[in-house]
Amino acid sequence: MNITNLITNPVTILLKQPFKIALGTDVTYDGVIVKIETDAGIFGLGEASPSATVTGETQGTVIDVIENKIRPTIIGKNPILIENIMAEIDSIILHNSSAKCAIDIALHDILGKYAHLPLKNLLGGFRDKITTSITIGIKPIIPTVEEAKRFVRNGVKVIKVKIGENPVEDVEKIKAIREEIGYSIKLRVDANQGYEVSDAIDVLKKLERYDIEFIEQPVAYRDIQGLKTVRAKTCIPIMVDESLHSKEDAINLIRQEVCDLFNIKLMKSGGIMEGMKIITIAEAAGIPCMIGCMTETKIGISAATHLGLAMKNVKYADLDGHLMLKKDIVEGGVVTENGENRVTDEEGLGVRMPESLL
């Protein structure tokens, strides 16, 4: 079996509402869907969700690197030799992690279809479902509380609240949420690098009374010493996100004792294969992992869900990016109900797209 064609499809989808975090505000999702075809009649779907602030990519740069560098490299290759293909791509492309991710996901989709198995079973098959947080972007206190209440009514078990823009309001916001929904629902917070070290310490100390599961990336991703200081002076567990892209990042963070938890996103790591390696490194160091996401269609979220279901050291999930889209262009794949993600027993990713979109 050999790869015969690679098709790239830019997609732009409106979000249900503007999504604001400390790094900026999005109103659309601008991604790239890829289809890898083979001479055996099997094809795989993959997705890139580029971010100028996180992966250093745009929709245009993703398409350019896939069409002009990756496509000539993989045509004619055996698609189930994933490590070999990705190693060759890495040898000619230094960055562009979401572009690599799209290829990696599509190759894993082909692998699952070739084996006639859902991908989660090929990757490890540890569990059948995983609880996911559902995210509230930065907005005023009253709308935040109302959204949290709506989530609870809809069966959500874990809520993630974006903070990092206004330290005083952030504390009041979490206080107001707890007063309305109580303590049976788990709360996580994510500052997306928004705080200075002193503000992060002050906010976290004030939030300790509100039973916060963990905080993601309280200070700038490059400020490793700042992260260590926040961790040393506060009690809420620290999860790194933007500071963690690669295996090398993981080893450095472990050696310097920077954090308690890892947030692994396929778009940062370059795909499922590299994500698995980071999870294994973290497990050896006693660091639990979360599988997170960008705003993505059900292709990317399904791939991340399969990985989260497959591996024991994935203790948490934040896989709700598909729920932010105004329309769903993908059939099948991940199912999110009552705050939990699961997949069907369909082969590969289990996702389908209308041919008109491909």
Look up 265 and say whether it is catalytic: yes
The candidate with the shortest Cα–Cα distance to 286, out of 312, 255, 260, is: 260
Q: Is the dihedral of CA 72, 111, 247, 8 positive or negative?
A: positive
Contact, 313 vs 279, CB < 8 A?
A: yes
Q: Is 268 a catalytic residue?
A: no
**234, 201 in Cβ contact below 8 A?**
yes
Phi and psi for 44 in degrees, rounded to 5?
A: -125, 145
On whether the CB atoms of residues 295 and 19 are closer than 8 A, the answer is yes
Closest C-alpha among 296, 279, 343, 292 to residue 318: 292
Give the torsion sign (CA, 246, 251, 255, 260). Answer: positive
The H helix count followed by the E strand count for the chain is 13, 16
Catalytic, out of 100, 120, 265, 268: 265
Burial 208-232 (b: 16+ CB within 10 A, else e): eebebbbbbbbbbbebbebbbbbbe
Report how far Cα 154 is from the mean position of its chain's Cα atoms. 22
Do 346 and 118 form a contact (C-beta atoms < 8 A)? yes
Beta strands in the chain (DSSP E): 3-21, 24-38, 43-48, 129-131, 133-136, 158-162, 186-190, 212-216, 238-240, 261-264, 289-291, 314-317, 331-332, 335-337, 340-342, 351-352
Token pair belonging to 253: 């963070």
CB atoms within 10 A of CB 197: 18
Rounded Cα distance between 206 and 187, Å, is: 15
**Of these residues, 77, 113, 162, 186, which one is catalytic?**
162
The residues assigned a catalytic role are 162, 265
